[in-house]
Amino acid sequence: MPLRIDVITIFPDYFAPLQLSLMGKAQQSGLVTIAIHDLREFTSDRHRSVDDTPYGGGAGMVMTPEPWGQAIDAVVTDQSTLIVPTPAGKLFSQPVAAELAHSTHLIFACGRYEGIDQRVVEYYRPRIDVRELSIGDYVLAGGDVATLAMIEASVRLVPGVLGNPESLVEESHQLPGVEYPSYTKPPTWRGLDVPEVLLSGHHDQIARWRAEQSTIRTTHNRPDLLPGS
Ligand SMILES: CC(C)N1CCN(Cc2ccc(Cn3ccc4ccc(-c5n[nH]c(N)c5C#N)cc43)cc2)CC1
């Protein structure tokens, strides 16, 4: 049963990259099907409007609920998970990507402006799994880029999508922290040599060196990922 993904957005062209590379191959192989829907196709007024002023005042505009209700109703099943990207969401992570990779049907609601009327989440929450997710503590102009990131992170974990599942095995067994530095040919480049140990063929020494390098990089770049932090 392929993973089905429906993306609802006012900028369908944002998702053209999903036809390329690994995501494109995943679709061609039938492991994943991805459909992009223009929210404005679900409006009923002449101007195809999707936003209005916020109740209670405040800056900007809020996306009105009805087009979202029409669009989600057009694709939803009882197996659906509705993902709503938002700065206020729970943090998206590799474990969440693994959960999404094993879903049956994902619907991504890509908001813009100041967000989507909260009643959309309130309406679907009693009916299907609804997840408000954020990809990080910085502010984007909408949910489209976040959706691209979450789709790529999740789809690469769908069994059969990655040509070399070995890289997933290594990724999953990796010690907490960031990965070690990687090198390839040539052995010397602009006077810089590949670390000698990597050319030695001593796999135990290579593994030890890589673990040390991971710890050094994690300590420097991501001390929050160190064990016990
Ligand atoms: C007081 C009141 C008027 N302010 C109202 C706006 N608040 C913050 C605010 C700022 C910008 C946007 C733009 N936007 C629209 C839909 C949407 C979806 C995701 C994201 C998003 N940003 N960063 C992430 N990691 C995200 C994810 N995932 C951003 C989105 C939405 C929301 C700040 C408070």
Predicted ipTM of the assembly: 0.93
pLDDT, tens digit, 9 for 90 and up, residues 129-153? 999 999 999 999 999 999 999 999 9
**pLDDT level of residue 168 (50, 70, 90 thresholds):** confident
**pLDDT level of residue 166 (50, 70, 90 thresholds):** confident
Selecting from 3.20.20.70, 3.40.190.10, 3.30.70.20, 1.10.1270.20, what CATH number does the domain 166-225 have?
1.10.1270.20
N-terminal to C-terminal alpha carbon distance within the chain: 40
AA identity, residue 210: R
Taking 70 as the threshold, does the pLDDT of residue 172 lie above it?
A: no
Taking 90 as the threshold, does the pLDDT of residue 177 lie above it?
A: no
The mean per-residue pLDDT over the stretch 19-30 comes to 95
Q: What is the Å distance from ligand 1's center to 89 Cα?
A: 10
- pLDDT at position 174: 61
Using most ligand atoms within 8 A of CB, pick from 61, 82, 86 the residue to mutate for ligand 1: 86
Q: Which ranges constitute the DSSP H helices of the chain?
A: 21-28, 65-73, 94-101, 119-124, 144-155, 165-173, 203-221
Is position 139 annotated in a ligand binding site? yes
Ligand 1 atom having least distance to the Cα of 85: 28
For residues 123 and 158, the answer to whether their CB atoms sit within 8 Å is: no
Ligand 1 atom having least distance to the Cα of 58: 3
Q: What is the rounded distance in angstroms from the CA atom of residue 59 to the CA atom of residue 117?
A: 15
Q: Is 228 left (phi over 0), alpha (psi -120 to 50) or beta?
A: left
* Omega prior to 181 cis, within 30 of 0: no
pLDDT, tens digit, 9 for 90 and up, residues 182-207? 999 999 999 999 999 999 999 999 99
Ligand 1 atom having least distance to the Cα of 146: 28
User: What CATH code is assigned to 3-163?
Assistant: 3.40.1280.10
- pLDDT at position 135: 98
AA identity, residue 95: P
The structural domains of the chain, with segments of one domain joined by +, span: 3-163, 166-225
